[in-house]
Amino acid sequence: MSEFLLERIFNKVDTIPTFPETARRALELLRRDELDFRELEQVIKSDPGIAVNFLKLVNSAAFSLPQKVDSLLKAFMYLGTDQIKLSLLASVSGKYFSDNLTGYGISAKDIWLHSINCAFITEEIANELKLSPEKKESLYIASLLHDLGKIVLDLYTNLEEVKFHEITRENPSWDFLQIEWFVLGVDHGMVGGYLLKKWDFPEDITFAVRAHHDADLMIQKKVSAIVGLSNILANLMGITGGVDAFKYKISSKLIETLGLTTKDLEKIMFKVLKRSMFLENLVV
Ligand SMILES: [Fe+2]
Ligand SMILES: [Fe+2]
């Protein structure tokens, strides 16, 4: 791959909207032991786009609230901290997944559902492993944004569409990552990690996004191991992030690193399936 193309790919990174400061400040408040709803309301209100999306989401069938909620304060009271955080991240991440990824053959809705379900999975794993609230937050964000690099690379998978199809036909056993490397000389984990680093995200998040397809790299840290596992599990459950979904396997090293059993994984997948069913009809 030419230096020129690589440069163009990384330049495209600058055209992706940055992670909203409002969401970042809100997440900071949500991390505190004593949450002040009024303070949180002021922060979320400062970005009308986020506030509107948030209300739209909590009023959707997914949350089955007893009545329509028209104020942020009421929504907070119904939802509680964990749900507020998830709704906030869901509405923010929706902004990145608003276009179909045509080069990858994934619709905007599918990549969004894939990302949200990965967040559900990481949450269930974190509960199983009794992780700290800080780790849980890193996991939410890293799993929601793990495929961000696909948005950047989609432009190029489109440009090189013929070549992509040719390589895929000639190498039926390859996954999308191998094809990305062959055609573009970079993969979407690397591009996503680079982007989040540029936005000053904490190291455990950027590393997890960077490593989510690299079996050796992901097991070096707990957060990256869980994000990598969540991506494979979501794909195996049919909540796919691309046409190569079923080519990814769970390595025994990964399971050993996290100290999980097959039974644990079954339990986690069952819980996630129940939670994810209501998301199907949701449009953010
Ligand atoms: Fe991925
Ligand atoms: Fe993924």
Reported as a single tens digit per residue, the pLDDT across 174-199 is: 877 888 888 888 899 998 998 888 77
Q: Tell me the CA–centroid distance for residue 231 and ligand 2, in Å.
A: 5
CB 153 within 8 A of CB 103: yes
Mean of the pLDDT values across residues 25-53?
87
- Residues 162 and 126: their CA atoms lie apart, in Å, by 41
Q: Tell me the CA–centroid distance for residue 119 and ligand 1, in Å.
A: 13
C-alpha count within 13 angstroms, C-beta hemisphere, residue 13 = 20
- Residues 237 and 265: their CA atoms lie apart, in Å, by 12
- Residues 235 and 241: their CA atoms lie apart, in Å, by 7
Helix boundaries (H) for 63-107? 72-94
Q: Tell me the CA–centroid distance for residue 213 and ligand 1, in Å.
A: 6
- pLDDT score, position 281: 54
Mean of the pLDDT values across residues 275-282?
65
Which of 48-52, 152-156, 163-167, 279-283 has the weakest average pLDDT? 279-283
Q: Tell me the CA–centroid distance for residue 24 and ligand 2, in Å.
A: 23
Reported as a single tens digit per residue, the pLDDT across 235-258 is: 988 887 666 666 678 889 999 999
Cα–Cα distances in angstroms (integers) from residue 279 to residues 72, 113, 282, in the given order: 21, 7, 5
User: Does residue 61 register a pLDDT over 80?
Assistant: no
Reported as a single tens digit per residue, the pLDDT across 113-171 is: 898 889 889 989 999 999 987 788 789 889 988 998 988 888 777 667 777 778 878 88
- pLDDT score, position 156: 73
CB atoms within 10 A of CB 244: 18
| 206-211 contact pairs (CB < 8 A, 24+) | 208/138, 208/139, 208/142, 208/143, 208/146, 209/142, 209/145, 209/146, 209/148, 209/149
3-state secondary structure of 75: helix
Q: Tell me the CA–centroid distance for residue 260 and ligand 2, in Å.
A: 21
Is pLDDT larger for residue 7 or for residue 126? Answer: 126
Task: Kindly identify the ligand whose nearest atom is closest to the C-alpha of 210.
Answer: 1
What percentage of the chain reaches a pLDDT higher than 70? 88
Task: Kindly identify the ligand whose nearest atom is closest to the C-alpha of 189.
Answer: 1
Q: Token match 């408040």: residue? A: 29
Q: Which two tokens stand for residue 232?
A: 């494979």
Reported as a single tens digit per residue, the pLDDT across 80-116 is: 887 787 778 777 777 777 788 877 778 888 888 898 8
Q: What's the mean pLDDT when you consider all of the chain?
A: 83
Look up the CATH architecture of domain 3-16+98-281.
Orthogonal Bundle (1.10)
CA-CA-CA-CA torsion for 194, 198, 204, 210, nearest 10 degrees?
-10
Task: Name the residue type at position 55.
Answer: L
Mean of the pLDDT values across residues 219-244?
89
Q: Tell me the CA–centroid distance for residue 147 and ligand 1, in Å.
A: 5
Mean of the pLDDT values across residues 24-52?
87
Q: Tell me the CA–centroid distance for residue 186 and ligand 1, in Å.
A: 13
At 221, the pLDDT band (50, 70, 90 cuts) reads very high
- pLDDT score, position 193: 92
- pLDDT score, position 284: 45
CB 157 within 8 A of CB 164: yes
Residues with Cβ < 8 Å from 96, sequence gap 6 or more?
Answer: 16, 17, 145, 148, 151
Q: Tell me the CA–centroid distance for residue 228 and ligand 1, in Å.
A: 9
Which one, of 247, 209, 245, 243, lies nearest residue 104 by Cα? 243
- pLDDT score, position 43: 93
Task: Kindly identify the ligand whose nearest atom is closest to the C-alpha of 231.
Answer: 2
CB 5 within 8 A of CB 180: no
Q: Tell me the CA–centroid distance for residue 240 and ligand 2, in Å.
A: 7
User: Does residue 228 register a pLDDT over 90?
Assistant: yes
CATH 1.10.3210.10 residue ranges in the chain?
A: 3-16+98-281
CB atoms within 10 A of CB 225: 23
What percentage of the chain reaches a pLDDT higher than 90? 29
- Residues 125 and 136: their CA atoms lie apart, in Å, by 9
Task: Name the residue type at position 84.
Answer: I
Reported as a single tens digit per residue, the pLDDT across 204-218 is: 999 999 999 999 999
